[in-house]
Chain A
């Protein structure tokens, strides 16, 4: 990995300019300002240029309209997190900024652009003067009106300004705008070109001598893909062979459903929007009983309704995949904000000794991989598999290095081969922990299954001895899974043979990896252990990581340290390897927050 370039170059105007290959831009405005659209165009331009980019969107509580903001990070190196602090802030009006102030931390020397129309004098803007902001009032509204006859194009005009002012890839931006509006009328496209040009011209004309302290440097590379975690997850499911999705709309998981509603039908599949989450998972279990791979996705409140079917799928040994895009809980919590707070539920949900598998993707690309892997595990082990994603991972759009979609192995369940000499037994103990599954339509395989404890044939029993034996069989799968797949489903990042270890899971690994990258550049030795398989816990590979470090800290975004306590019950953790940093969600961790914790641990 190349070092971040941070050197002072003399600008043509004479003022010193700091070059960077990693820039974080925040844009805030009201509904209709096109804030989100601007941000999306910036990441689209960056991805087309081969840069890494990520966008995090934030909305006010209004369903439509109201204030919105987005945070765009563009970098030459992999942009692991959303970027702690803004280098550039664009405010179409300051009233909207006030609502996002808590979420938008500003970097010292921040460049602030705001619309002249807002009217706030430069010395009264709500930005801490101690940061020594470089502030420009720009007549976005009036310039857009002049150039195109409508102020609606001011978000496109903004892109022209940003591109020229910070040396962002201006051709890439023009290309992104052209692509986005390719199907619109000639008139709209011409207006966009004019707005872009007007933005650039304004900078060249009015700000040529201005002291702009930041210049983005980059080289063009191979284009990257752009997707959200939820899209990647849904795509992974499609790739795995999922042909029935049933779900009930819920924030922040609905985009999984909307994406599959578009894609499944042409593959002969079905997306069904059900009456509730119970029906959603019920449809999936019904379809899977019939041999069709099926998935549902939800968030905390929906997951609680799915618990009864989770138990049924476990005892009846039916493959099914449930994605939980976590949001702040308990109960309805904060629907639009992220938290890793459902682990305890998915790890233990359901009465009885209910086996289940839990996997957690750690970035957007991994959402695709875990989408495939969840199905592979469900099919091979004939059991429900839960994918734990979250709002921060599911709804952020991120550049993804193009990958080979054909290269992923897809596993199908073991099915009954035909009419054997003896009658078919769905849960034959001699088969080990899974038996071939006869699918309706297969002659000779007829049988009845249920949520009742059963003998080998599937017929109900009240025998405690049989119950114990069947429990052993259902849990033997989990032991085999941890043994066979565990090592490949624990990832490590950062320094080789690190002294300090971070253990985290899911979306938090983004900031943890970036913190480790930063610390290692400063001479520390930090490694990050990210289990993708959470239940059953891959004890051996995690223990091996911990054995190799002097101290370890467990980091997760929930109040209780849910995963930590689960792992602690299964690993031998001494005090040096058992440090915990857990806090409630809402806002994801910042990189600095993790850096501080690790430094405190290193110096302790």
Chain B
């Protein structure tokens, strides 16, 4: 089994969370939950002490899409819904990079939903964080695939008539080898979740809840904080290798009645490891030389 982070160069000098922030001022609304995710991410990066030049933050489109510009290292704010192919292609060819992919609930579960299962089952050693604020923020308040049934938004004036999907159970069903839930109102816990995802060898999925104060109301932060349950603290014991109880926790959809923490964790070979085995087998075809390739065309 590979250990994640093993092949990734570390920073020479001691770096703080602040060192992983750029000078660019976020475009997010005042009080936006995304600030907490940014703080948690830079904190986790500083704890790994990864060399900033070996960090790659990739995103789709949406409020979350702007994240790369605010984090030191290499960034790519790409297309709507396409962050997972991009991140997978990068990680397979550059195992020495810490690859962090992120996007919103619309990005990952509407337009990009087709990529999620395949990234999960292939199990590349990347972290995928979904900013699940249950609304389209950047386009100003339309309903998203995780908006609860009946909610009023700019495109559901009479209440949403679509049943929402659940990112955490989807991730488990798709074969994600690590599934966690985090709340941006608890930066320390959130940073811990990201750090655990970094340490996990394989596809690590985090459902993050960063409240949208502009379109989902000001009270979300306060209410979630009051009602949140924290797994494996305060007697909230949970065995992360127990599929049944993991599924039960993952099935929670009400943000005011949710458990946060690592839900599911499973060790299995990463895509990169399997690729290594495949290359060994393929090496028996002949040496890696062009002349040997040419020979197959001789009659």
Contacts and interface: CB of A to CB of B under 8 A. Distances in A.
Interface string A280-304: 1011111101111010000000000
B222 interface: no
Contacts of B117: 275
B90 interface: yes
A182 B87 CA distance: 45
Given A444-B53, A450-B78, A405 B58 contact: no
Contact of A448 (B52, B74, B90, B294): B74
A266 B85 contact: no
Given A227-B297, A266-B282, A440-B74, A312 B92 contact: no
A198 interface: no
Interface in B241-299: 275, 278-279, 281-283, 285-288, 290-291, 293-294, 297-299
B94 interface: yes
A450 B74 CA distance: 11
Contact of B72 (A226, A231, A446): A446
Contact of B299 (A224, A279, A282, A459): A224
A406 B69 CA distance: 43
Nearest to A288: B89
A292 B94 contact: yes
B75 interface: yes
Contacts of A285: 78, 86, 89
A447 B74 contact: yes
Nearest to B285: A266
B28 interface: no
Contacts of B76: 286, 289, 316, 448-450
B297 A451 contact: no
Contacts of A440: 53-54, 56, 73-74, 90, 94, 97
Interface in B80-131: 82, 84-90, 92-94, 96-97, 114-115, 117-118
A44 B283 CA distance: 27
A266 B78 contact: no
A446 B278 CA distance: 33
A442 B97 CA distance: 11
Contacts of A442: 53
A274 interface: yes
A279 B85 contact: yes
Given A226-B299, A440-B94, A446-B53, A309 B79 contact: yes
A279 B122 CA distance: 13
B68 interface: yes
B77 interface: yes
B79 A176 contact: no
A315 B290 CA distance: 34
Contact of A265 (B77, B84, B88, B278): B278
> Which of B57, B66, B75, B97 has the most chain A CB atoms closer than 10 A to its own CB?
B75
B285 A262 contact: yes
Size bracket of the A interface: 35 or more
A393 B78 CA distance: 35
A275 B90 contact: no
Interface string B1-30: 000000001000000000000001000000
A225 B298 contact: yes
Contacts of A272: 88-89, 92
A367 interface: no
A41 to B, nearest CB: 10
Contact of B85 (A226, A274, A291, A443): A274
B51 interface: yes
A562 interface: no
B88 A286 contact: yes
Contacts of A258: none
A266 B93 contact: no
A176 B299 CA distance: 7
A285 B56 CA distance: 14
B288 A268 contact: yes
Nearest to A180: B299
A270 interface: yes
In the complex, which of the residues A47, A235, A274, A446 has the most CB atoms of chain B within 10 Å of its own CB atom? A446
Nearest to B11: A443
Interface in A238-282: 238-239, 243-244, 246, 262-263, 265-268, 270, 272, 274-276, 278-280, 282
B283 to A, nearest CB: 5
B89 A282 contact: yes
B118 A452 contact: no
Given A244-B89, A286-B58, A446 B74 contact: yes
A270 B93 contact: yes
A371 B66 CA distance: 36
Contact of B89 (A176, A246, A265, A316): A246
A282 B90 CA distance: 10
Pick from B54, B74, B279, B298 the residue with the most CB of A within 10 Å: B74
Interface string A28-52: 0000000000000001110110000
A349 to B, nearest CB: 15
Contacts of B51: 443
A405 B291 contact: yes
Given A290-B97, A448-B69, A283 B299 contact: no
Contact of A284 (B74, B89, B291): B89
Contacts of B286: 266
Contacts of A405: 290-291, 294
Contact of A441 (B61, B97, B118): B97
B86 to A, nearest CB: 4
Interface string A223-238: 1111100010001001
A575 to B, nearest CB: 46
B115 A449 contact: no
B299 A448 contact: no
Given A176-B299, A268-B279, A275 B118 contact: yes
Interface string A101-127: 000000000000000000000000000
Contact of A274 (B75, B90, B118, B299): B118
Given A244-B93, A287-B90, A451-B79, A44 B299 contact: yes
Contacts of B75: 447-449
Given A265-B282, A446-B72, A278 B85 contact: yes
A445 interface: yes
Interface of A: 43-45, 47-48, 176, 179, 223-227, 231, 235, 238-239, 243-244, 246, 262-263, 265-268, 270, 272, 274-276, 278-280, 282-287, 289-292, 294, 308-309, 312, 316, 400, 405-406, 438, 440-452, 459-460
Given A235-B297, A278-B82, A279-B115, 12 more contacts: A225-B297, A226-B299, A266-B279, A266-B282, A272-B88, A279-B114, A282-B79, A285-B89, A440-B74, A448-B69, A448-B75, A448-B77
The 3 closest A-B pairs by CB, nearest first: A282-B85, A286-B89, A448-B75
13 contacts: A225-B299, A239-B290, A244-B92, A244-B93, A267-B288, A268-B279, A285-B86, A286-B76, A286-B86, A287-B92, A289-B90, A440-B97, A448-B75
